[in-house]
Amino acid sequence: MRDVIIIGAGPVGLACGIEARRRDLDALIIEKGALVNSFMNYPTKLEFFSTPELLEIGGHPFSTNGYKPVREEAIDYYRRVALAEELETNLYETVTALRGADGRFEVQTDKGSYLCRKVVGATGFFDVPNRMHVPGEDLDKVTHYYREPYPYARQEVAVIGAANSAAKAALQCHRHGAHVTLLVRGPAISETVKYWIKPDLENRIEEGSIAAHFNASVEEITEEAISFAAPEGRQQIENDWVLAMTGYRPDYDLLGALGIDTRDDAARTPVHDPETFETNREGLYLAGTVCGGLNTSKWFIENGRHHARQIMEHIAARRTEGVEV
C-alpha cells in the first residue's frame, strides 16, 4: 500500500511528490496525460507572467534565456525536476473514483486500482472550458484552446472574451494578418489583463485595427457567420474561426466522484481546510489551482506550489502523532 497517491502531474502535483519524498512518504503520481499536461494546451512559446524563480519547485533553480520563461522552457524544467527527484509517475492514466476511507483508500483509474493511505487531488482547472451554450459551439471552427496565430492569416476571426488569453490571442492574430473582431460580454476589457497588454489592445481597438463589440452576447455560430446581441441590436458578421477564450473551471464531476463537497459561494469553492488543505473527506487533500473553484485566479503556480509543503507536513505530523500513515 502506498502512503500517498497524488492525482495530477502539474507543477503543484509534482511539488507534492517532492515534499512527500522528503518526508519518506511513498508517493505515486497518477496523471491522465503528459507531464505538466495543462501546458500542452498553452499557446506555443507562451511567455509566463511570472519570473522563473517564482515557478520553482523543490528548490531546483530555473534558469531561462529571457526575463520570463516561455512554455517550452517550463515544460523542460518540470520534466528535469521530476527526473532529478525520481518522482514515480503513471502517465496517461485517468483517476475516475475513490473508494474506502482515510488510511485505506482505493483509487480507481481507467487502468486499474491502487491502495493508499492518503490522497491529494492536484487536478487544476484547465480541462473544462466554460461553455457559452449557444448553437454551433461544437463546430470544428470553434476552439477554447488558442495555440498560435498562423492558421488565421487573411481569415475572419472572432475572439470571445476580455481577459488575458483573449487579449493575447486578439493581438497576435491581428499582427499575423487576421481580421479580428473581439466580442466582450461586459462593458470593457477586464482590469485583470496584464498592465503591459491592456493598453496595447485598447489602442488597437481605438485606432480601428481590431473591431470590438462590448456588452455583446453570442447567440449563434454557423459555418459562415457569428451572431450576437449588442446594445446596437442583433448583429451577424462573416466568420471563419471562433476563439472562445471564455475561461475554464475545475472538473466538478471528478470532485464529486472523489466525494468532495462544494461551498455555497459564488466560486463554488471545493470544501477544504485553509491551513491543511484536507477536504471534507478525511485523508483526502486538494492542492493548487483547483482549490479556488470557479475563482481560477486565486491560486496559481507562484502561491499554489506552497500547498505541497503544508499538506505533506500535515500528513507527516499525523504519522508522528501515532496515526497510521
Ligand X SMILES: Cc1cc2nc3c(=O)[nH]c(=O)nc-3n(C[C@H](O)[C@H](O)[C@H](O)COP(=O)(O)OP(=O)(O)OC[C@H]3O[C@@H](n4cnc5c(N)ncnc54)[C@H](O)[C@@H]3O)c2cc1C
Distance of closest approach, residue 107 Cβ to ligand X, in angstroms = 9
Taking each helix axis from N to C end, the angle separating 307-320 and 11-21, rounded to the nearest 10 degrees, works out to: 30
Contact residue for ligand X among 2, 4, 5, 11 (CB under 6 A): 11
Taking CB under 6 A as the rule, which mask of x and - marks residues 239-268 in contact with ligand X? ------------x--x--------------
Contact residue for ligand X among 301, 308, 311, 325 (CB under 6 A): 301
- Closer CB to ligand X, 11 or 149, in the complex: 11
Contact residue for ligand X among 193, 289, 293, 316 (CB under 6 A): 289
Q: Which of residues 73-102 bind ligand X (CB under 6 A)?
A: 94-95
Contact by Cβ (8 Å): 179, 157: yes
Is 9 near ligand X (CB under 6 A)? yes
Binding-site residue total for ligand X (CB under 6 A)? 33
Taking CB under 6 A as the rule, which mask of x and - marks residues 171-210 in contact with ligand X? ----------------------------------------
Q: Which of these ranges, 76-84, 124-132, 229-237, 313-321, lies near ligand X under the rule CB under 6 A?
A: 124-132
**Is the dihedral angle over the CA atoms 26, 94, 293, 53 positive or is it negative?**
positive
Taking CB under 6 A as the rule, which mask of x and - marks residues 145-174 in contact with ligand X? ------------------------------
Contact residue for ligand X among 52, 304, 316, 325 (CB under 6 A): 304
- Closer CB to ligand X, 136 or 288, in the complex: 288
Contact residue for ligand X among 6, 18, 20, 31 (CB under 6 A): 31
What the block records as the C-alpha cell of 125 is 482547472
Is 52 near ligand X (CB under 6 A)? no
Q: Which residues bind ligand X (CB under 6 A)?
A: 7-13, 30-33, 37-38, 42, 46, 48-50, 94-95, 122-124, 126-127, 251, 254, 288-289, 300-302, 304
